[in-house]
Structure 1
Amino acid sequence: MKKIFFFTSSPNESANDTESFRTNGFEVEATLQNQTNNLITCIQDTIKNNLNDDYVIICTSYHQFTPHFSMPYLNNCIENVQKLGGNLLLGGLLGFEKAMEVTDHIFWVDGFKGAQFIVIFKKAFALLLQSKNADQAPAELFLSQSLDDIFVMHPFISIYDDQDINSFENTTDFADIHENPEEILDELSQIKKYYSYEPK
């Protein structure tokens, strides 16, 4: 069973909120997140306790699985991003600044907002642990600025389960935040397929 680290800002999080992870084949380890134990601090503590792992999967209480989720699909995306030398693999997002499809179902992204399901690869562990003043920046801004080789899977396996798209951790603004990022990525994928087509 694959382990997932669930970060919640509410001490009253019910068992139902983590049941979807167990149903989908995850072993859940929950961590309470607050003013002194923010998202980046939780990530750093998780990495310290799992330094021998090839990656860690973290998730916030804003996450909701999409119908596209399956463990084989997740595993395949993880394997592909490992081959690409990735630092992060996002299960979904609300917005991005730049994106480019690098292989089937995998897009490179630069600058992201609203990621609540994140795979952090071993390559990034030391960088994240050595970062100074990490708690002074919103988590997604910190990750975007600290790491290269960030990827997102498409179609998404995670959507933002909240009507308010302004994440409690993120203050970064994107001009196209109200556009559907999955539709944008789908268009980019179709364009790539069109121009990559080689008639027999």
Structure 2
Amino acid sequence: MKEITHFPIYIINLEERKDRLNHILNEFKDKEEFIIELIQSEKNKKGNVGLWDNIKRCVNFAIERDQDFIIICEDDHVFTKDYSRDFLHKCIRDAYEKKCNVLSGGVSWFETGIQISNDLFWIEKFTGLQFTVIFKSLFRKIMAIDFSTLDAADQKITFLSSDKLLIYPFISNQKEFGYSDVTDKNNKSYRVEKLFDETQQKLEILNKVRNYYLQLNNRENTI
């Protein structure tokens, strides 16, 4: 991987969603570490298909520009208090060295999580793509895979790779807008916020368990 001087980020936004555009641009107004590419499109009747088409546009740009990784960012992303340039840089480097294909900044749900370092969990499945690092090793697979009207973008990426890591603590959550262009279930008030909170709490429990047994093991080794 080349030296990381800036983070290439592709922000996906529907042209009619001015409220979301204003929000996401405000999130990055003081983040000079990002090189922003705005990917705008008209609304697709099938929101899941429209999102996937835009993800492929992002990946195609990345291939043309020979980028080692990109960050896919949806317009409902919001940074948490745990975000910092150095923390993201470290996590991307660590994930790359572990031959990871996908690195998530925060998810609304996951299945099977194993903590492999202080900052990273391996996860089997997840939902939520609002801030997702995609590495070069996955670019061609994304461009080649079929996507139907019944598919979901996050589930498709889950299917494409077993090497998926999650940053802990989260550096990204989703902002509630009262509607979703992709997932109808997320039209309910505070549903997304609750999902992220519950998922973060699950990770905190797993982290406490890991730390307990690490400390226990260290005490036994000193006896």
Q: Same fold (TM over 0.5)?
A: yes
Q: Which amino acid aligns with 1:35?
A: N
1:112 aligns with 2:119: no
1:13-162 matches, within 5 Å, as 13=18, 14-25=21-32, 26-33=34-41, 34-35=43-44, 38-51=50-63, 52-133=66-147, 136-162=150-176
Answer yes or no: is 1:169 the counterpart of 2:182.
yes
Instruction: State the alpha-carbon separation in 2 of the partners of residues 160 and 134 from structure 1.
Output: 25
Larger Cα-atom Rg: 2
Cα distance change of structure 1 residues 19 and 3 upon mapping to structure 2, 3 Å threshold = farther
Percentage of matched positions with identical amino acids: 23
SS of 2:141's partner is helix
Distance 1:132 1:178, change over 3 A: closer
Give the TM-score normalised by the residue count of structure 1: 0.87
Q: Which secondary structure does the structure 1 equivalent of 2:29 belong to?
A: helix
- Tell me by how many angstroms 1:7 deviates: 0.3
> RMSD between aligned alpha carbons?
2.5
**Cα deviation code 1:65-113 (max 9, x no counterpart):** 1111111000000001101111111110111121111111101112212
Q: Greater CA deviation, 71-80 or 186-195?
A: 186-195
1:152 is aligned with what amino acid?
A: L
Please report the TM-score for the alignment, with normalisation by the length of structure 2: 0.79
CA separation of 1:163 and 1:44: change in aligned 2, threshold 3 A: closer
Give the structure with the higher percent helix: 2
Residue of 3, 6, 9 corresponding to 2:14: 9
Instruction: Give the secondary structure class of the aligned counterpart of 1:49.
Output: helix
Distance in 2, matches of 1:7 and 1:144, equals 19
Following the alignment from structure 2 to structure 1, what is the Cα–Cα distance between the partners of residues 155 and 171? 22
- CA shift digits 1:128-156 (9 cap, x unpaired): 11112366511111111222111110111
Instruction: Give runs of ≥4 in structure 1 deviating > 2 Å.
Output: 9-17, 133-136, 166-172, 176-179
Number of equivalent positions = 197
* CA deviations over 1:26-52 (Å, ceiling 9, x no partner): 232111243177121111121112121
Structure 2, unpaired ranges of 5+: 1-5, 186-193
Confirm or deny: 8 A CA contact 2:10 2:71 kept in the other structure: yes
**1:193 aligns to 2:211 (yes or no):** yes
Residues 57 and 118, structure 1, Cα contact 8 Å, conserved in 2: yes
Structure 1 gap segments, 5+ residues each: none
